[in-house]
Structure 1
Amino acid sequence: MTQRHKDRQINFIELPARDVAASKKFYSAIFGWTYQDYGDDYADICDAGISAGLNGEPDSAAKKPLVIMYSSNLEDARARVVKAGGKITKDIFSFPGGRRFHFTDPSGNELAIWSDAGIE
């Protein structure tokens, strides 16, 4: 079985978007990006050079761009974050295609770790 994602590496960048439609139009005009929509409040960017998305979900969008790493074992990654002194800001939750959690580092930067392990 081929692994699609590399464990413990940056895998995704999520940009907050107050207006996903306007953001899509803006980035398309500048970069020619295309999108895969997941409702009105989320769009994956298909051709940005790195996996990325626009998040306009009022209850889950970060306030700043969110760097997301991949882990093949989400619970282990969460435990390592806590042991290293990270603060969990959003505990493990499911989304279409996987699960993730958010945390802050000692400088207050919010990051996330996701996994598709165990998702069919």
Structure 2
Amino acid sequence: MARLNYLELPVQDLPKARSFYADAFAWTFTDFGPSYSATMTGDTDIGLQGDPAETTAALLPVIQVDDLDAALARVEAAGGTITLPIFSFPGGRRFHFRDPAGHELAAMQPAA
């Protein structure tokens, strides 16, 4: 199974962005350090990345997969380019890649 389960937004002012989405949509955020907040609904969640060293140039769609290593192999075999190798984060592991059209996405496998 693979499904879009997360969208990471690069933000310059994390408190302001968090406040906007909380006020506009009544979303509740969990903070993961001083530069990252995310909704934790279990559906398609939103992450706010406020660390300039970690932000992507555009929105980062994240695809949940059952087997991250197999997904990485399939992405490479299909012509994708790995832009950030597999790494761990609170909640699982993921990697970033560019599709042949140049769009950056990520694939993630939740922690067991």
Do both proteins adopt the same fold according to a TM-score greater than 0.5, normalized to the shorter chain?
yes
Please tell me whether residue 113 in structure 1 is matched to residue 107 in structure 2: yes
Q: Deviations over 1:49-86 (max 9, x none)?
A: 62111111232221211110011111100000000000
Partner of 2:60: 66
Partner of 2:92: 98
Trace 1:19-98 onto structure 2 (pairs within 5 A): 19-46=13-40, 50-98=44-92
More strand as a share of residues? 2
Q: CA deviation at 1:101?
A: 0.3
Rounded to whole Å, the distance in 2 between the matches of 1:8 and 1:60 is 24
Structure 1 gaps, min length 5: 1-6
Rounded to whole Å, the distance in 1 between the matches of 2:40 and 2:82 is 29
TM-score by length of 2: 0.90
Partner of 1:4: none
SS class of match (2:95): strand
For 2:76, the aligned partner's letter is: V
TM-score by length of 1: 0.85
Please tell me whether residue 16 in structure 1 is matched to residue 10 in structure 2: yes
Alignment size in residue pairs:
111
